[in-house]
Amino acid sequence: MPNTIDGVLDWWAANRAEVAAVRSGDDTLNYAELRQWSLHAAAFLAERGLTAGDRLCIQAPNSFEYIAAMLGAIRLGAIAVPINPRIHPRERNDLIGDFEPRLLIVDTAADAGALPEDVQALPIEAIRALRTASGEADPPRGVDEDAIVGIISTSGSTSRPKGVMYSNRTVIAAAMQMLVQEPYCGEGARVLVYPSISTSAGFLPVFQILVFGGTIYLGGAFEPEAALKIIESERITMMMCSTIFFEHCAATSIFPSTDVSSLRAALTGGSPVSRELQRVWTEKGAVLRQIYGQTECSGFATFQSAEDSRTFPDKCGRGGPFTDIAIMRADGTPAPHGEPGEILLRGPTIMRGYWRAPEATAAVLKDDWLHTGDLGMLDERGNLSFIDRLKDVIKSGGYQISATELEAIINEIPAVESVAVIAVPDERFGETPMAIVYGQGSVTIADVLEHCGNSIARYKIPRYVVIEDAPLPRLATGKVAKAEIRNKYKHAHEMLDQVR
């Protein structure tokens, strides 16, 4: 049996054919049905020219057919490249220029508008129709354990997203790490997935769950009361969401009466778990467990044990069984326990690199260690505390927004001379962007909103905009002094009105 995702799917289909692989609402797809669907999807895509090494971009909401299409591509040896369904057409076409896909699957035919001429677009309905296809499909198989199977775009500290590459081995190692760390995550696990498959928080759990034989429950658009009802009725055993999602659930009127005790692993990140939030969930029989990770390390590098989470809810654990964690000072020497430094990670779950970006890859992968660009420290027991992001990323409602990318967009406005985008707290999304803009002439808040609306996804558009009448402070290097600006505006969101 090859060490590949499709090989594992074949094994589950042969040995646990009737086990539910994916559920959504009242619809269920078992492992035998998912394998058969993916075979027909592979044949369909091969007939349209998709071969080993080609990229298949998919821009659509989470669905059964989305998963079948990705599995079909992987069976061919092609690379699945999910694209955020909410991004602006301009942003999508930038990604298409980077990935040069053979095919693009979109939600509807109307979504294919304004594409580059050499890109063939298919509505996802074409994959949906293959669910009931008759006969046996025998597509060509491009099995390679080290082949790239997926690329996830991530907003880093640069103005353009980078494509993080995962191989068969990477994805399977991440699944095995979770299974060794938490054996109950294996066969019989029921995992509720809300994040878009276009993010590492959606893409990786889907494949990891299929590797260890669990059941994926696609939750659709997040609504706190609906999520609680699913947890109770489906006896969900695992859920991985930003901390703010658990806060919204706890704030509902039905939370006190909902049985969430089936949640063996309530994993969360994005912001610390407060002791009060931990208390209300623990009293319900579910312990919130802080994780640390990023797209470049297959989503998570460590998560806190249930026992330690009760006492240290803000810590992230001591690393996975296959992952080493180190803290490095700015001078390149190891930091002792209790001293902050850059978080370094090493292990088989680390990405294979950035797509067609050897210099960017070399900058973060050094001597087998991933330099995360994040600040943290280890205590005397080896527990990791995440302190702050060295990279300039805003985490908002489960999505990552690059402040640098947003600054570049606003700087396109002719009257703008300088801009700084910072994260500010938001009750609904956890964080949201605030743009501080300086320009000569008549630049207005309306100008900023209009230009952003014509250029980027709506969720990236700043909810707060400040027009400064003096140049923004700068460092000796000439860069805008972000730390000074953050300090000046740390309470501004409490006094300003949101502009959208």
**Contact status, residue 350 vs residue 296, Cβ threshold 8 Å:** yes
Residue 486, helix vs strand vs coil: helix
Q: Express each pLDDT in 256-308 by its tens digit.
A: 999 999 999 999 986 678 888 999 999 999 999 999 999 999 988 998 988 88
Q: Express each pLDDT in 82-114 by its tens digit.
A: 999 988 888 898 899 999 999 999 998 667 777
- The CA-atom distances, in angstroms, between 488 and each of 323, 421, 484 are 39, 13, 6
Residue with tokens 């609904």, as numbered in its chain: 428
Q: Which of 318, 198, 193, 207 is nearest to 267 (CA)?
A: 193
Starting at the edge strand found earlier in the chain, the sheet holding 238-242 runs 27-30, 20-24, 215-218, 190-193, 238-242, 265-269, 288-292, 302-303
Q: How many CA atoms lie within 13 A of 79 on its CB side?
A: 21
Q: Which of 289, 283, 231 is nearest to 256 (CA)?
A: 283
pLDDT at site 1: 55
Residue 291, helix vs strand vs coil: strand
**Contact status, residue 17 vs residue 32, Cβ threshold 8 Å:** yes
List, in sequence order, every residue forming a beta bridge with 82; answer none if it has no partner: 58
Interatomic CA distance for residues 209 and 336, integer angstroms: 36
Q: Provide DSSP, 194-247.
A: -S-TTSHHHHHHHHHHHHTT-EEEE--S--HHHHHHHHHHHT--EEEEEHHHHH
pLDDT at site 311: 86
Residue type, 112: A
pLDDT at site 68: 98
pLDDT in tens, the chain (500 residues): 568 999 999 999 999 999 999 999 999 999 999 999 999 999 999 999 999 999 999 999 999 999 999 999 999 999 999 999 988 888 898 899 999 999 999 998 667 777 777 889 999 999 999 999 998 898 988 878 999 999 999 754 344 679 999 999 999 999 999 998 887 777 789 999 999 999 999 999 999 999 999 999 999 989 999 999 999 999 999 999 888 889 889 999 999 999 999 999 999 986 678 888 999 999 999 999 999 999 999 988 998 988 889 888 889 999 889 999 999 998 999 999 999 899 999 999 999 999 999 999 999 999 999 999 988 999 999 999 988 667 677 889 888 788 878 988 998 898 898 899 999 999 889 999 999 999 877 899 999 999 999 999 999 999 999 999 999 987 644 568 887 899 899 898 899 999 99
The CATH code for residues 5-384 is 3.40.50.12780
pLDDT at site 160: 67
pLDDT at site 263: 95
Interatomic CA distance for residues 8 and 319, integer angstroms: 26
The CATH code for residues 392-494 is 3.30.300.30
5-384 and 392-494 in the same fold: no
User: Model-level pTM?
Assistant: 0.84
Q: How many other C-beta atoms can be found within 10 angstroms of the C-beta atom of residue 265?
A: 23
- Give residue limits of the domains in the chain: 5-384, 392-494
**Contact status, residue 424 vs residue 492, Cβ threshold 8 Å:** yes
List, in sequence order, every residue forming a beta bridge with 399; answer none if it has no partner: 396
CA 351, 70, 14: angle at the middle one, nearest 5?
A: 105
> Which residues in 2-14 are b (16+ Cβ under 10 Å) and which e?
eebbbbbbbebbe
Residue 500, helix vs strand vs coil: coil
125: left (phi over 0), alpha (psi -120 to 50) or beta: alpha
**Contact status, residue 55 vs residue 100, Cβ threshold 8 Å:** yes
Chain centre to alpha carbon of residue 356: 20
Q: How many CA atoms lie within 13 A of 322 on its CB side?
A: 20
